Chains A and B, each alone.
Chain A
């Protein structure tokens, strides 16, 4: 299992990519993970599709729906991940219910077997994450903490024991591309650094190389989800080339090339 910290090994910055498992099929997801890790993604978030993704904007909502209507389920996602070669750390992005209902022990045991080193759970805020963190720990799986522009005084509490990386939500609202990110990211990162030395990566609303360059210059990395999912939505099973081009371009921007 490749651990999260190896994502920052190159130059201290990480380019983190997201895709929804099973959109449009698990075979495509397996191939797209390969393309991402070969073209400059430093860490890959694999989304477990959920029927009711309350933190997602329209692009990822639609991807979840496509994946679920294609018959994807948690077991088949694990099977797919067990079968691929991993060159960068892989983490899950999942709402809590699919993990809870699968059974924490059963879920994290399979994560370990499949080489998934962490999980981001958007609907398990600090106060509710104790249970799942305790369950993940014996398997060596990191539960990533999230900070939002509204966190303010909560930062101290949320980041005190953060592991892996801290997911800084760039803006109010749901996932999806934004023209401008108005939050003073530098200031929030500064506040987090008073509490934690864990790397901070910025996600929500980053659509391309320019924003990724800006955000990662203010933090330790940039996370891109919706912009990638949109490429997959547009090209379906034939997104290899456009993905390759997009990932290399953004990776170069994040790593200052």
Chain B
């Protein structure tokens, strides 16, 4: 969908310092070569199946569907992947590519820690050095994932600049990459940043919708009415949408983190409140003030706490192919409990944003219809934070 310069309509591009341009060119060339290389594809397929546990299940959530009262709700169980989220799909792809490029070290940003854990895992498996940059605030919110990354042999660097969250971790990765390019690959975790990342990460995540489309046709003999996924940068959402984009009757719905509400300043809902800008290597929508200073954003979910959105989402929104809706902390926490009680599945708080809205969407359809929700990650990492949100004093 992206043209040569990585544009999705008006969005995308390569807005990075000159120092990084040759690294992006090198990456683009390598990605083009290996994405068509039969051996690379076979190796990645092997890793995804034998190591990460793909294909992930498409599970009919009967009790949740009954609760919603409408269409059958299917959960695409990315939470059952090795390391507990969809992030492993991209991390394995990029780590394998980095290895083919002769790089010996991966750096990565992480918010909730899921991408950091996935990258540390892929690095351990493939024998690469790994350093993960994580906002100091997030190292506190997600202390368990910090320790997990360390166990996997990665170095975790707490970022103490700016708002000390995901966007600052991305800043620090860009700075670090510009210092050390020759042996280092920046394993960016979402469909954002400069070209070729939005396209490459989308391709690695598109396996979600490739599998889901075949699975639903096998189980139901018809396409879903809607595909619902949470959106921060937007990697699980674009992965879930991609192979349905051509299916005109299928609604594509991205759930943004509204935090305390889109009317408040404590929100991370970019489509709802952001404006066109240029940041982190891409032209897209960003939460910013009247002088183009990037706003600090807020969500209970560290993984969605990002002031921008991937350029392909901005494009799908602009052309009306996908819908984006805000879901608040309170609603996500409600869905977190709901899915746990009805199905015995504790979702990541990120994914809970999608579950909340999926229940609303299902109610708009009848029992012959179905919808698919991407359950992008599991919620073990969030249990202590949810308890604290509810006023119970539990620590990791």
Give the interface of A toward B (CB within 8 A). Answer: 50-55, 57, 61, 65, 68, 73-75, 96-102, 122-128, 146-152, 154, 158, 169, 172-174
Q: Mark B200-224, 1 if CB is under 8 A from A, else 0.
A: 0000000000000000000000000
Q: Is B110 an interface residue when CB atoms closer than 8 A count as contact?
A: no
Q: Which residues of the other chain, A, contact B294 by a CB distance below 8 angstroms?
A: 51-52, 97
With A and B bound together, what is the CA distance between A179 and B248 in angstroms? Answer: 60
With A and B bound together, what is the CA distance between A257 and B275 in angstroms? Answer: 52
Q: List 5 A-B contacts (CB under 8 A).
A: A52-B167, A54-B174, A54-B175, A125-B14, A173-B180
Q: Which residues of the other chain, A, contact B179 by a CB distance below 8 angstroms?
A: 172-174
Residues of chain B in range 163-207 having any CB-CB distance to chain A below 8 Å:
167-168, 171, 174-175, 178-181
The answer on a CB contact under 8 Å between B171 and A52 is yes
Q: Which residues of the other chain, A, contact B15 by a CB distance below 8 angstroms?
A: 96, 123-125, 128
The answer on a CB contact under 8 Å between B293 and A51 is yes
Give B6's nearest chain A residue, CB to CB: A127
The answer on a CB contact under 8 Å between B17 and A100 is no
Q: Which residues of the other chain, A, contact B180 by a CB distance below 8 angstroms?
A: 172-173
With A and B bound together, what is the CA distance between A50 and B289 in angstroms? Answer: 11
Give A72's nearest chain B residue, CB to CB: B291
Count, chain B residues at interface, CB 8 A: 36
Closest chain B CB from A35 CB (angstroms): 27
The 7 residue pairs across chains A and B that have the minimum distance between CB atoms: A101-B292, A173-B179, A148-B19, A98-B292, A150-B22, A97-B292, A51-B293
The answer on a CB contact under 8 Å between B174 and A127 is no
With A and B bound together, what is the CA distance between A93 and B120 in angstroms? Answer: 37
Give the interface of B toward A (CB within 8 A). Answer: 5, 13-23, 161-162, 167-168, 171, 174-175, 178-181, 275, 277-281, 286, 288, 290-294
Q: Which residues of the other chain, A, contact B292 by a CB distance below 8 angstroms?
A: 74, 97-102
Which residue, A52, A55, A61, has most C-beta atoms of chain B within 10 A?
Answer: A52
Q: Identify which of B17, B181, B288 contacts A97 (C-beta below 8 A).
A: B288
Q: Which residues of the other chain, B, contact A150 by a CB distance below 8 angstroms?
A: 18-23, 181
Closest chain A CB from B351 CB (angstroms): 28
Give B286's nearest chain A residue, CB to CB: A97
Q: Identify which of B18, B162, B168 contacts A169 (C-beta below 8 A).
A: B18
Q: Which residues of the other chain, B, contact A158 by a CB distance below 8 angstroms?
A: 18
Q: Which residues of the other chain, A, contact B293 by a CB distance below 8 angstroms?
A: 50-51, 68, 98
Are A52 and B162 also in contact (CB < 8 A) when A97-B278, A98-B293, A100-B278 are? yes
Give B24's nearest chain A residue, CB to CB: A125
The answer on a CB contact under 8 Å between B21 and A100 is no
With A and B bound together, what is the CA distance between A80 and B18 in angstroms? Answer: 30
Are A97 and B21 also in contact (CB < 8 A) when A50-B293, A172-B179, A174-B179 are? no
The answer on a CB contact under 8 Å between B18 and A148 is yes
Give A74's nearest chain B residue, CB to CB: B291
Give A58's nearest chain B residue, CB to CB: B161
Closest chain B CB from A21 CB (angstroms): 12
Closest chain A CB from B137 CB (angstroms): 16
Q: Identify which of B21, B181, B277, B290 contacts A125 (C-beta below 8 A).
A: B21
The answer on a CB contact under 8 Å between B174 and A172 is no
Q: Which residues of the other chain, A, contact B175 by a CB distance below 8 angstroms?
A: 54-55, 57, 173-174
With A and B bound together, what is the CA distance between A52 and B19 in angstroms? Answer: 17
Q: Which residues of the other chain, A, contact B19 by a CB distance below 8 angstroms?
A: 55, 148-150, 169, 172-173
With A and B bound together, what is the CA distance between A90 and B16 in angstroms? Answer: 24
Give A174's nearest chain B residue, CB to CB: B175
Closest chain A CB from B101 CB (angstroms): 15
Q: Identify which of A96, A146, A173 contacts B278 (C-beta below 8 A).
A: A96
